[in-house]
Chains A and B, each alone.
Chain A
Amino acid sequence: MAWFDNHLLSIVIWLPMLGGVLVLASGGDANAAVARKLALGFSIATFIFSIPLYQRFDSATAAMQFVEQAPWVPAFNIEYFLGIDGISMPLILLTTLLTVVVVIAGWESIQYKVAQYMAAFLFMEGLMIGVFSALDAILFYVFWEGMLIPMFLIIGIWGAENRIYATIKFFLYTLLGSLLMLVAFLYLFQVGGGTFRITDFHDLPIGFTAQTLLFFAFFAAFAVKVPMFPVHTWLPDAHVEAPTGGSVILAAIMLKMGAYGFLRFSLPVLPDASHYLSGFVIALSLIAIVYIALVALAQKDMKKLIAYSSISHMGFVTLGFFIFNAQGIEGAIAQMISHGFVSGALFLCVGVLYDRLHSREIASYGGVATPMPIFGSFMMLFAMANVGLPGTSGFVGEFLVILGAFQVNAWYAVLAATTLVFGAAYTLWMYKRVIYGAVASDAVAALKDLSRREAVFLAMMAAGVLGMGVWPYPVLDVMHASVENLVSQAMNSKL
């Protein structure tokens, strides 16, 4: 048991990867049923193993917990160094939960190379948890980049018509950003006396010019991943072409990694540059919130609309980070988790429709509520959460960020609050055109309502959305000490 307790993070990282290998070994599509069951088994097991991370988490301290440390490449002092704090822990739970959902969601809609599909998601899961728990910069980088490979394949193999363009664009965009981050890591290693520990980076004194250059190197990696306004163009392509499961993981987890990177590196390692350039980041965030919301309004494709909505919502997250107060950052993290549920759920809803009619065009639908009433109500909940209605998870984060923004500059808050209007406009207008109105065609009239399997995964998402909306305390409580610590790090000049 002691071994088990000491290696909880490793188990959660490597168990799904082991599962991935076994799933791959289960053979071709003749054995698809075995592959599905194995994948479900491993994803549920991983989720169960991740629960103790929450139960045994000490929310009173900002120190890293569940720490594991072993030398890896002694020549460069690279370590296998894992640990989590209140910021990364909720994201790990979100990952393990959503992987279960994604496996269930791909149960019937994926019929081609099932084992490879399931294995890709299990590998992704392990790598994503690795990103959230790595405390060695190179280990972090290995997980961060390694994730590109399964995602590249997921979009490229099981995606829609234009998948190849989308997936190569996705890969190269992210690779370019990441490699600059790698150079930044190596630079920090050089000036920091030969350590790759992220916690040591936090205490490293760095001059202002170096901080600014490093900030842009990190920014290249994280802004692409978030994605922030001028470098967001890969996301709508990737989302539209990806299979449902790919969209869910992309929106719910992978976008959060960019945001997580800001919290782990930019703010605490480079506080002065972060302050100096906060106006720049806030401006980009506000552009994303307002302008991208308007872009979303013009979309005819449901997935594209949700993709733009994601960019707009992630603008809230980066805004919350760079106003440098605890409310803003806590709100932003809450928004990250909420957005994980909400955008994931909306992509699942589109997937449910797409499996039936093979169209993502809003115009192909209309009056879906008549044949699919249960689906209509689930989607109503998720649409409301996307708007940020009180009582849903979407409200908590947006409210806290706007509150935090008011303390800094009322204009930030006012501009950010426009999302409540625009968000409502594009979400509800789409909802109205798809779900309400006259039944658009015979095909729509013949739609079958949710199967039991679909109801299960939508209910899981709904539970997350409502649970966090009604009682956000457990989520906010665990992150409180870590966020306070982060804010103090970000406010302390290193010059």
Chain B
Amino acid sequence: MNDKLNLVAVLPEMFVATMACVILVVDLFAGKERRLMYGLSLATLAGAALLTMSDYATTRSVAFGGMFVEDALSDLIKIAIYVIAFGVFVYGRSYARQRDLFRGEYFVLGLFGVVGMMVMASANHFLTVYLGLELLSLCLYAMVAFQRDSALATEASMKYFVLGALASGVLLYGMSILYGLTGSLEIDAVRASVAAMPPDSVPLIFGLVFVVVGIAFKLGAVPFHMWIPDVYHGAPTSTVAYLGTAPKLAGFALVMRLLVGGLEDLHGAWRDMIIVMAVLSMVGGNVVAIAQTNIKRMLAYSTIAHMGFFLLGILSGQAAGYTAALFYVLVYAVMSLGAFGMILLLSRAGFEADALEDFRGLNQRHPWYAFLMLLFMFSMAGVPPTVGFSAKLAVIQALIAVDLVWLAVVAVLSAVVGAFYYLRVVRLMYFDRQESGTPIRAALDMRLLLGVNGLAVILIMPWVGGLFAICASAVGLLAGG
């Protein structure tokens, strides 16, 4: 089976990549017809979702001689990525158009980034992991720098590129050490060789450290988080909405494929590293976020804190913990998409609504949007009855199941600190008086999607059990395979 190409498993990737090329060509001939390219991009994502869903994996199948795997985990993550990317394109449309970012390249880069994430989700080989990661990263560097006349964006892109390249190098170095020790780059084979070695073998741990550091860089966990605030702050908001949401899902896949799929036998070693990073991320992210006045920067630190929380699920080293982490990252992507959608909504030509102050008096200007933002903020803070609570609950549950009660207490204490700055947004919207009376204009598709997005974080609650079961089955297959 390993020597077969098995192209069916790769169909969605091929479809999205082909469509991205088609859009590139269409851009060449019909560059002015931006609506056409917008429509094509959305159709691509919808088509890919159909392809993936029609062939939703119940068993594990590999392609390209074992370099590529299709299982329930990859399919679930891919579907989530399509949905999130769809939302990003819809939310970012008028923002990008007003800033002359609404060009063919924008969609092409976005779609190639999606392909990169899909490859990461399905990687079964160190080189495939790296291929997907770099495809995504290159698209992101370009998207951050897309606003050419903005010094902030250019600076952010430069920082992102330098640190991202460093991180990729570190990851690659770790992989090469593991290759030297195990003689294989294929994740299943690496796993088998690692299982045969003593888990405290120093060269093995040495390689592991570099892999973990590389992953932490990509996720933005403290102390490898330095690029996040600058990139979030400097990049155009439509790009931040992209890079702050879907890549987190791909990051989850990265962790699952490398640490869990390949190196689970070293759990004892990577667990301790992740504990340190998770605690630092939660505490550091939440504390520093309090001091921010720019909401994009605030959300950047909030991302860091959320990634810390997400790592808590991973470090438990059990299927329940991985499920919790998957659920957490899905929920986080949806909430964060909504929050960035709100910033995009309030921005208009020549005006970036990226200061916290821009949310002042929103309840007077438009109670419905204020209510949606309220839901996103409470959900990020983890207050029931929003879905953010059930995500935190699942993670804490996983920690207590492995007797890490102290870590659970640290996590909830940092959540209290975090609640403060989310509350501050609510306070500005609801308790303070109006400053700007500019009417908020948005296209129908954006209004609808934002409404669905906002209500989803609360109305999903009765069915949260079903969602959790889907996550559990996705993770369960990986653990079984």
Residues of A near any B CB (own CB < 8 A)? 28, 71-76, 78, 113, 116, 138, 141-143, 145-146, 148-149, 152-153, 156-157, 163-164, 167-168, 171-172, 175-176, 179-180, 182-183, 186-187, 189-190
Contacts and interface: CB of A to CB of B under 8 A. Distances in A.
Given A156-B431, A190-B401, 11 more contacts: A73-B465, A74-B465, A76-B394, A116-B367, A142-B461, A146-B384, A153-B426, A157-B430, A172-B420, A179-B412, A180-B412
Contacts of B394: 76
B363 interface: yes
Contacts of B401: 190
B163 interface: no
Contacts of B384: 141-143, 145-146
Interface of B: 323, 363, 367, 374, 378, 383-385, 389-390, 393-394, 396-397, 400-401, 405, 408-409, 412-413, 415-416, 419-420, 423, 426-427, 430-431, 461-462, 464-465, 468-469, 472
B397 A172 contact: no
B419 A72 contact: no
A175 B416 contact: yes
Contacts of B426: 152-153, 156
Nearest to B408: A183
Contacts of B461: 142
A168 B397 contact: no
A148 B465 contact: no
B441 to A, nearest CB: 19
A28 B365 CA distance: 11
A164 B431 contact: yes
14 contacts: A72-B465, A113-B363, A116-B367, A142-B384, A145-B383, A146-B385, A149-B378, A153-B430, A171-B423, A175-B383, A175-B416, A183-B396, A186-B408, A189-B397
A142 B385 contact: yes
Given A73-B468, A187-B400, A182 B393 contact: yes
Contact of B390 (A71, A73, A143, A179): A73
B383 A168 contact: no
A156 B420 contact: no
A186 B465 contact: no
A72 B461 CA distance: 9
Given A145-B389, A180-B409, A72 B431 contact: no
A28 B384 CA distance: 27
B415 A179 contact: yes
Q: DSSP majority for the B interface? A: helix
Contacts of A179: 412-413, 415-416
Nearest to B378: A149
A183 B430 contact: no
Top 8 A-B pairs ranked by shortest CB distance? Answer: A179-B412, A73-B465, A142-B384, A156-B431, A146-B385, A186-B400, A145-B384, A176-B416
A183 B399 CA distance: 10
A78 B465 contact: yes
DSSP majority for the A interface?
helix
B363 A75 contact: no
Contact of A183 (B390, B405, B416, B469): B405
Contacts of A116: 363, 367
Contacts of B383: 145-146, 148-149, 175
A172 B420 CA distance: 7
Contacts of B397: 76, 186, 189
A266 to B, nearest CB: 19
Contacts of B363: 113, 116, 157
Contacts of B413: 176, 179
Contacts of A141: 384
A71 B416 contact: no
Contact of A190 (B400, B430, B464): B400
A163 B367 CA distance: 20
A157 B413 CA distance: 27
A430 B462 CA distance: 49
Nearest to B471: A75
B389 A142 contact: yes
A28 B400 CA distance: 46
Given A74-B465, A190-B401, A182 B412 contact: yes
A171 B420 CA distance: 9
A74 B469 contact: yes
B374 to A, nearest CB: 8
Nearest to B368: A24
Contacts of B396: 182-183, 186
B419 A172 contact: yes
Nearest to B469: A75
A208 B121 CA distance: 47
Contacts of A148: 383
A186 B395 CA distance: 11
Interface centre among B401, B415, B419 (most CB of A within 10 A): B419
Contacts of B405: 183, 187
Contacts of A138: 393
Given A156-B430, A180-B409, A183-B408, A175 B419 contact: yes
Nearest to A78: B465
A68 to B, nearest CB: 14
A73 B327 CA distance: 13
Nearest to B383: A145
A183 B423 contact: no
Contacts of A182: 393, 396, 412
Contacts of B408: 183, 186
A178 B120 CA distance: 39
A142 B430 CA distance: 23
Given A149-B383, A164-B431, A180-B409, A73 B464 contact: yes
A43 B162 CA distance: 61
Nearest to B390: A73
B400 A72 contact: no
A85 to B, nearest CB: 24
B194 to A, nearest CB: 30
Contacts of B412: 179-180, 182-183
Nearest to A213: B405
B479 to A, nearest CB: 15
Nearest to A153: B430
Nearest to A141: B384
A28 B323 CA distance: 43
- The winner among B400, B409, B420, B464 for most chain A CB atoms within 10 A is B400
Contacts of A78: 465
A153 B367 CA distance: 13
B419 A183 contact: no
Contacts of B400: 183, 186-187, 189-190
A377 to B, nearest CB: 38
Contacts of A190: 400-401
Nearest to B461: A142
Nearest to B462: A72
A175 to B, nearest CB: 5
A186 B389 CA distance: 14
B420 A183 contact: no
Nearest to B401: A190
A398 to B, nearest CB: 36
Nearest to B468: A75
Contacts of A72: 462, 464-465
B409 A183 contact: yes
A141 B469 CA distance: 22
A156 B427 CA distance: 7
A254 to B, nearest CB: 16
Contacts of A143: 384
Contacts of A175: 383, 416, 419
Contacts of A73: 390, 464-465, 468
Contacts of A71: 465
A168 B422 CA distance: 11
Nearest to A148: B383
A175 B414 CA distance: 11
A72 B462 CA distance: 7
A175 B412 CA distance: 10
B14 to A, nearest CB: 35
Contacts of A146: 383-385
